Chains A and B, each alone.
Chain A
Amino acid sequence: QKEVEQDPGPLSVPEGAIVSLNCTYSNSAFQYFMWYRQYSRKGPELLMYTYSSGNKEDGRFTAQVDKSSKYISLFIRDSQPSDSATYLCAMNNAGNMLTFGGGTRLMVKP
């Protein structure tokens, strides 16, 4: 079993839809949780960074962490075609080495 599981997709939604992207993890030592967006042929771009359980909002993006269930989510409201990308969750403990999910490919259709 991988430490971090993420549905690879592809996830196809119409423009304006609410998107839910999820990861589950097995290592209870993980404390820091990140979401990255990666466009084709580009490096990953840090979208959201959270430390504790609960929600964190930034514009159309909301990151949610449930440590008791070892489950994290990224919600995208009013999705746009420009949101089409691969979304990677990542997490670590107090050390610096990140463990990545496999990425979910999202397609937002106009």
Chain B
Amino acid sequence: SAVISQKPSRDICQRGTSLTIQCQVDSQVTMMFWYRQQPGQSLTLIATANQGSEATYESGFVIDKFPISRPNLTFSTLTVSNMSPEDSSIYLCSVTLSYEQYFGPGTRLTVT
């Protein structure tokens, strides 16, 4: 299995500002994923991040709004830019090991 940590665990931010979420994994992984989980909802994939290449974004998500960095095989960041209250959500990073997918504890973001 993989142990994944995220920072911060939660934050309250003003609209118009940006927040960068960090994800650290205890194993080297090729692909890392970023998900959003809105209150009472299931998980929605934002983007897939491979080390050394541009992230691949799902429909409805754009790089200007959710820039991602993947500097090495154990770390990634997701930035939520120019935030609005609609961005209030839990953001989760995830990795795949041997076809099994593991999730971090999530970052709970509230935008006021």
Contacts and interface: CB of A to CB of B under 8 A. Distances in A.
Interface residues of B, number: 20
B25 interface: no
A43 B42 contact: no
Contacts of A45: 103
B48 A96 contact: yes
B43 A97 contact: no
B105 A42 contact: yes
B112 to A, nearest CB: 19
A100 interface: yes
B103 A43 contact: yes
Given A46-B103, A96-B33, 16 more contacts: A34-B100, A34-B101, A41-B106, A42-B106, A43-B4, A43-B92, A43-B104, A43-B106, A44-B43, A44-B92, A46-B1, A88-B42, A96-B31, A96-B96, A98-B43, A103-B42
Interface of B: 1, 4, 31, 33, 41-43, 45, 48, 92, 96, 99-106, 108
Contacts, number: 45
A103 B31 CA distance: 25
A102 B42 contact: yes
B42 A97 contact: no
18 contacts: A36-B103, A41-B108, A42-B105, A42-B106, A43-B4, A43-B92, A43-B103, A46-B1, A46-B101, A51-B99, A88-B43, A96-B31, A96-B48, A97-B45, A97-B48, A98-B43, A98-B101, A103-B42
| Range of interface residues on A (Cβ < 8 Å) | 20 to 34
A67 B109 CA distance: 38
A107 interface: no
Interface string A78-93: 0000000000101000
Contacts of A34: 100-101
A103 to B, nearest CB: 5
